[in-house]
Chain A
C-alpha cells in the first residue's frame, strides 16, 4: 500500500531556537490509516503536525534535514497552498479559527479561495454540512453554537475541499466530556465513510481510544519512542515513563495486581475481557482498600441563597441557586458550556450585579461591597493567564495588587511577594520577564499575584486547560498544597478527572439551575445528571459492573482513596 505520509531521518530546528525540536523521525503512515500521535507538551507532536500541513515553513521558518513525502511528493516541492489540497487541518481551538461570519460562509472558505462558482459552492457546502450534521445551522453565527457543534463546523470546512488526509490538532481541548466523546465518534464515522487517512494529535489517550485507532505514535523530547498498536502500548510501561495518563480502568487493574497483557484486550473498556482469577483480584483489592473518611462538618465561608441573574433584558442565566461552601474546602463547579458556571463566579466577585437572592461571606451579606473590597477576601484567576498579566517583570506583576492598594510599606510588600513567589515555586525566576515563561508558569504567576493579596478563597476558571498530564498534576498538586494551608478553593471545570481526583464535592449547573450537589463519585454514577451536565460516566464504573461489584459509587470512592495513597 502507498504511504500518505513518510518521514525519512527527518529533523527540524526552529529559526528562533538553538536546539532542534525534532530528531531522527522515521515514520510511515499508510493511506487510509487512522493514527494517534501522542506525547507530553513540548515533545514535538505539534511541530510534526505543522510539518505535515505546511505551517512549517510558511508561518514558522526553520531548518529541516532528511526527507518528508506527502502523498508521494517531497515537502521541498510543496507549499502550504499545494498541501492544503491534500491535507485538511482542524485546529485546536474552534473559537479562534472561525473565519466566516456564518456557518455556511465558514464552511465555504476554502472553496472561495479556489474561486469556485457560487452555485457549485452552495451545493458543496450543503453536502459537507449534511455529512457532519450541521445542516440546520448554516445561517447561524459560529460562536452561538455549542462546543460540539463548533467542532463539527470546523470539520465540515475541511472535508468540503475533498482532502485525502485529515489532521486533527488536539480536537478534545475545550470540549466538555460529552461533546468530546461525540467528536471522537464523528471523526471515526467520517474516517469510515470516506476512507481518508486520519491523524489525531492528542494527549488524552483514554478519550481518543473510545473508538479504535490503528496505531499510536508516542513521542517524547522530539523523538518517536514507540510506534505500536494501542493494545501493545497499554501493555508496556511507556505511558507511565513519558507522563501520559493511562486510562483509569488500566490504573485500577494495576492497583489490583492484574498484569496488563494482550490477551485481555485492554485497548478499550468495551473490549476488555478478564478471566475469573483477574476478576477476583479486582474484587479482593476493592474489599481491602479502607473506606475513605467522610470530612467533618465545616464552618461555612461562602453561602449563596436563591441567586438569580440575567443580563439586561436577556434570558435568565442563573435561577435560584443555593450553594454553601465550607472553610478549607476544595470544590468544583461543573456543567456544560453556557450553563452559568463562569457567570456564578462573576456574581460572587461582584463583576456582575445580582438580580435576586444574596451571597454571604462569613455570614455577612456582600451586597454593599465593591469589587475591590470583595477582592481582599476572594481571588479570581482567569482561564487565560495572558488576559491577566499586565507587567513585564514577574516581581512587579505579583506586587501589582499590593502596590495599588498602597497600604503596606515597601518592605512589607517585598515580604508578601517573596512568600507568594516561594509558594508558587517562582522565587528563582523573580527577576525574569514574564515573556520568558511557559504557559503553565504564567498560570502560576497569576495565582501568585492573587495569593499575595492574602485571600481566604480562590476561584479558578479551568485551571488546567491546555495542560498535559504532567503539568496538570503539577498545578493540581500545588493547589492541593495551598488548600492544605487553609485556603478554600473553587474550581470551575469540565475536566472529570480533575473533579474526581481533587475535589470531594461537586456542584452541577445545567440550564441555569443547580441540578446536583454531591460527592463527585455519586455525580458520575448518576446517569441522569451525567446526561444533563454533558459529562460522561467514567470507565471505572463499567469496570466495577464487569467485576460484579454492585456499589459503583463505593468502588470509585475506594479507587480514589487508593490512588491518592499511591501518588503521595
Chain B
C-alpha cells in the first residue's frame, strides 16, 4: 500500500467499510481501537499542517491560495487535497486492521502462517500470544483492584501523571511474576504432549482452500497491480488533479 492515488484510496476505503459491515463487526466491541485510531489520525493531520503547511504544494507542483491565516500558515487547495488523501488512507487501512483482529481465530491464523512457510514454532507463539491477551487483561484487572484496596490510587485525577505512572509500575511486578508462572506451566504442558519434536506438524484447525479464498487472493492481486499501474500512469504515488 504505497499508493496515494485518491481514486484508488476511495475505492479501498469503500470496500473496507463494506466488508466490515458484511462481517457484522459490532462497533461496541472495537470502540477502543476505533477511537485510538481516530485520535491518532487527527493528531497526524494537525502535525503535518503545523510542520509542513505547504507540503501539498511541493507534491503537486502548483499553489492555489484560498486565504491567509497568520505567519506562514495559509489555506491552500493543494494542502487540503493532500490532507484528504491522508484521511482516506486511514479509512482504507483501519477497517482492514479491525476486520483482521476481530475475525481471525488465532489457531487458524497460526496454521495458515505455517502453511505459507513460517516455522510452526514461531506461528504457534504468535497464536499463544494472541490468545493470552484476554487472560493477562483479566489478571491485570484483579491485581489492580487488590492494590486499590490497599490505597493505591489508579484513576484519580488528583495525582500527577508521574505519580500515576509510578503506581502503574507497582502493579507490573505481580503481573510479571504471575505471568511467568503461567508460562512455565504452559511450556511444560506443551512439551509433555510432544510440542517441538518433529520438523512438521499438522493442524486440527486447518481448512482446505475453497473458491472464496482464491477469489479473495485474486482480488488482492488485482488491487496490487492497479496500484502499480496507477503509479506509472500518474508518474508517482500521487494523483494530481491540479494540472
Which residues in A have some Cβ–Cβ distance to B below 8 Å? Answer: 53-55, 58-59, 80-81, 84-85, 89, 91, 93, 96-97, 99-102, 104-105, 108-118, 121-122, 125, 157-158, 161, 346, 349, 351, 371-372, 374-375, 379-380, 382, 384, 386-392, 400-401, 404-405, 449-450, 453
Contact = CB atoms under 8 A, between A and B. Distances in A.
Contacts of B148: 351, 371-372, 375
Given A97-B186, A371-B145, A387-B142, A113 B192 contact: no
Contact of A157 (B128, B193, B195): B193
Contacts, number: 150
Nearest to A83: B192
B207 to A, nearest CB: 9
A84 B150 contact: no
B149 A351 contact: yes
Contacts of B200: 115
Given A99-B189, A375-B150, 10 more contacts: A59-B187, A84-B192, A91-B188, A96-B185, A105-B204, A382-B146, A386-B181, A387-B178, A388-B174, A390-B171
Contact of B145 (A109, A346, A450): A346
B197 interface: yes
A532 B181 CA distance: 34
B53 interface: no
A118 B194 contact: no
Given A118-B204, A125-B204, A387-B174, A101 B149 contact: no
Contact of B142 (A81, A97, A382): A382
A390 B191 CA distance: 31
A interface majority secondary structure: helix
Nearest to A84: B194
Given A101-B106, A157-B193, A380 B146 contact: yes
B185 A97 contact: yes
B115 interface: no
Q: Which of A53, A59, A104, A388 has most B Cβ within 10 Å?
A: A388
A104 B41 CA distance: 42
B193 to A, nearest CB: 4
Contacts of B128: 99
Contact of A108 (B143, B173, B198, B204): B204
Nearest to A91: B189
B187 to A, nearest CB: 7
Contact of B202 (A53, A58, A99, A117): A117
A380 B197 contact: no
Given A96-B186, A371-B149, A386-B178, A121 B171 contact: no
Contacts of A387: 139, 142-143, 146, 174, 178
B106 to A, nearest CB: 6
Contacts of A390: 147, 170-171, 173-174
Contact size class for B? 35 or more
A112 B192 contact: no
A515 to B, nearest CB: 27
Given A387-B142, A387-B146, A113 B194 contact: yes
16 contacts: A96-B186, A99-B193, A113-B197, A113-B198, A114-B194, A115-B200, A115-B202, A118-B206, A371-B145, A371-B149, A372-B149, A375-B149, A380-B146, A389-B173, A404-B150, A450-B150
B202 A375 contact: no
A59 B122 CA distance: 20
Contact of A89 (B149, B192, B206): B192
Contacts of B181: 386
Contact of B107 (A93, A101, A111): A101
Q: Top 4 A-B pairs ranked by shortest CB distance? A: A81-B197, A97-B189, A108-B204, A404-B151
B63 interface: no
A552 to B, nearest CB: 40
Contacts of A453: 150
Contacts of A389: 173-174, 177
A143 B178 CA distance: 18
A118 B115 CA distance: 14
Nearest to A109: B193
A102 B203 CA distance: 13
Nearest to A96: B185
A80 B153 CA distance: 47
Contacts of A54: 192
Nearest to A349: B149
A441 to B, nearest CB: 15
Contact of A112 (B143, B178, B201): B201
B27 interface: no
A122 B205 CA distance: 10
Nearest to A350: B149
Contacts of B191: 55, 58-59, 80, 84
Given A81-B197, A101-B105, A401 B185 contact: no
Contacts of B165: none
B174 A386 contact: yes
B152 interface: yes
B123 to A, nearest CB: 12
Contacts of A108: 204
B190 interface: yes
A53 B178 contact: no
Contacts of B7: none
A48 to B, nearest CB: 15
Given A55-B191, A58-B191, A97-B186, A400 B204 contact: no
Given A91-B185, A351-B145, A380-B149, A113 B174 contact: no
Contacts of B204: 100, 104-105, 108-109, 111-112, 118, 121-122, 125
B178 A384 contact: yes
Contact of A161 (B149, B190, B193, B195): B193
B193 A113 contact: yes
Interface in B91-111: 105-107
Contact of A115 (B146, B177, B187, B201): B201
Nearest to B190: A99
B65 to A, nearest CB: 52
Contacts of B188: 55, 59, 91
Contacts of B178: 384, 386-387
Given A89-B192, A113-B195, A121 B170 contact: no
A362 B200 CA distance: 65
